[in-house]
Structure 1
């Protein structure tokens, strides 16, 4: 099993190209099921979490072609996927595929909208009610679908097609918004989604759907209106840059010191995180090529962070400032309001010497002068990168184990960091 070895203490200087957003690429790929014509997606990141939906779509009879490099492409340029769902041969998404990734469940929406039926496994280990699949089911039922749960599968039918409706989400749900949005594009009549998620990835999917002939307005606000159309056509769309990757590398520069250009980054996608970095003592400069982050020898100031739906501080960036604040001058507080059990990285950060105290959903971090390198273990996709950030700043050697979690969400992590002067390498086997 691969590991990442880091020798800390080097400042980061140079340019890091920001990859396409994983959290937009996944629903965009699934949206390809809505049309008989080809959807071309540019800037798709090369990640384990992108390969998995390719397998799922293939199971439904979708042909996916990945275009090779073109003259002038640089090595970090995202791939181009041609997704052709001309003939959907199977409307069942089996457990062995869906269980590997929760977002796979979203195929229920385009299958139901286009084929009037779907049989999709419940995501692995997902009791209805946690990370609520129940809200996705509620949205589809509002649109006229008949749903039953049998043997761990959601069996959905809409014999006369889906019908426009008003969907009121009791709480903000990105998954629910994606599913309702995709399903409503081919429904008869008008659908209104109230309390919709406002994340940039929702806007990106809506933009793509509109290029395909959908009529979606209001994406990026809590009220989205969709006028159903009879069918969608092919289109070409570029995946927006990954705001979580952007924030992660910005935190790494703030922690190690140095000066790095985050090429292709869009500041409006993560302004709340950039504000936190500025409070901590980093210098953020927006320019034509993205965002420049720097920190000279000055110490880090403590900050207080509370996660919230967009445009608030992203839950997927919660662990990274925790690593950063472990070396701040004073006490910081980080409160997680979105997901339970999102503090698994705390015990691993403590192995570096970080002083972190948990009280419910709030972590108090008492900064120390220097972290010490240690063997640590990645525990999940996003939070585990906080261990890499800590290792970059720590004295001595850090070995990060179980890095397949990192490969799910960060494209060529060690290559991008080593190009900016970090001593970091992947050890295979």
Structure 2
């Protein structure tokens, strides 16, 4: 059994799915209201931040996803006591008995998750030592951890690469550093923040990521007692402090989940209200959604996304770091673009292999051509990157049911949308991977009127 299947089955069990294969009878518009909880890309990092506190931390609006379960298990392996539950949306972390975990246990618990790399800074401060197993993650291209390791070295850490993983120590403690990224990596920015808050001296980080989830993590750390200034031109200053306390924080909503359901509404000709979604953090997506022909209403407690009727229009999209169009948004939106009249182009500038999921869409009847070296010419607002790719989507094309194997989290949800859009019956396996980032997605499908069952 390959690693991808094993990870999907584990994820399915963690979120209580009856099976890792779902059967969908498509062609029905999705209509209804769902709740969007805290962002996966903030919640898991805020959980790690609890290691830095001397007192208990409380995290609210926690989604019931398998990535939360993975991080909770890793925290417990390091001696953190956790109460509450993701089902209720509230978790309480007590880090008073933090201790080293067995390397084999870390490896077994983390699976292919990349979150263990963010444990380094907090564990170095608490224990003076950290071990990180081989890192996995979604199959969407190279996601090197060199930025992380280089940053830790600049803080004074000693990094040893072993056959079993990475051993990191700080026998002389950690100190402030001047760090500049070649690219504004979200994960590496989180690494610097989680490490710099407790070092001796001040850290200046240039070319930092400034996504809303990064800003929310800074808010968490500031509640704990950190001194962090966000300056113009992607510069963040962190003044190290001697100690931090716990936090009480409500996570910002998951804008990736909201955009995914919005795309499902557009592709199926439906009408979905995402309770908890907010306009400010989705403005770039909303502009593109409207250009395609989708409609939305900003409500007091959420956003209603719907297909207003008429033809969908083609667009050109260039993914980029915030405040640009998120790479996580393009995959589900491509399903809607298969129904637009004309030719759309998606330039993927963040990851070099994020169009693998389109192979299944072509088998379902979509007209998509992937250019693995990108496209030359044309007006561009986002500078070309050496590893970028482009997808050309020509529509409209009628999708038909198929057998689909989910390759990764966002691509997997996109396959789910495609199956819901297609005429006929689709069998989608490895759906446990979708549970990594989409809380209660089965219950939400039921609320929205989807016709599906699980293969037993």
Classify the TM-score, shorter chain. over 0.9
For residues 308-319 of structure 1, the aligned pairs below 5 Å read: 308-319=320-331
Matched residue, 1:387:
415
2:394 matches 1:376: no
Q: Hey, what's the Cα distance between the residues in 2 that align with 1:168 and 1:186?
A: 19
Paired position in structure 2 for 1:259: 271
TM-aligned CA deviation for residue 356 of structure 1 = 0.7
1:283, 1:294 within 8 Å by CA — same for their partners in 2?
Answer: yes
Any unmatched runs of 5+ in structure 2?
1-18, 373-388
Determine whether 1:166 maps to 2:184: no
Q: Matched residues in 1 for 2:36 and 2:233: separation?
A: 26
1:290 maps to 2:302:
yes
| 3-state SS of paired residue (1:44) | coil
Give, in angstroms, the shift of residue 252 of structure 1: 0.8
In 1: Cα distance, 2:85 partner to 2:111 partner: 28
Q: Decide which of 154, 161, 166 is 1:149's aligned counterpart.
A: 161
Cα distance between partner residues in 2 of 1:137 and 1:369: 46
Aligned residues of 2:23 and 2:455 also touching (Cα < 8 A) = no
What does residue 43 of structure 1 align with? 61
Q: Distance in 1 between matches of 2:437 and 2:328?
A: 11
Map of 1:138-287 to 2, 5 A cutoff? 138-218=150-230, 222-287=234-299
Q: Say whether residues 1:82 and 2:100 are aligned partners.
A: no
Deviations 1:187-209 (A, max 9, x none): 11111111111111111111011
- Structure 1: gaps (5+ residues): 69-76
1:219 deviation in Å?
Answer: 7.9
Question: In the TM superposition, what whole-angstrom CA distance separates every residue of 1:137-156 from its partner, at most 9, and x where no partner exists?
Answer: 11111112222222333222
1:72 aligned residue = none
Return the offset for 1:220. Answer: 9.5
Q: Name the residue aligned to 1:365.
A: 393
Partner secondary structure for residue 152 of structure 2: helix
- Cα separation, 2, equivalents of 1:227 and 1:258: 49
The alignment's C-alpha RMSD in Å is 2.0
8 Å CA contact 1:199–1:220 kept in 2: the answer is: no
The answer as to 2:70 corresponding to 1:60 is no
Whole-Å separation in 2 of the counterparts to 1:213 and 1:258 = 46
Kindly state the Cα deviation for residue 409 of structure 1 after the two structures are TM-superposed.
1.3
Shift of residue 112, structure 1, vs aligned partner: 1.1
Do the aligned partners of residues 78 and 279 (structure 1) sit closer, same or farther apart at CA in structure 2, a change above 3 Å counting?
Answer: farther
Determine the C-alpha separation between the residues in 1 that align with 2:311 and 2:79: 56
Q: CA deviation at 1:291?
A: 1.0
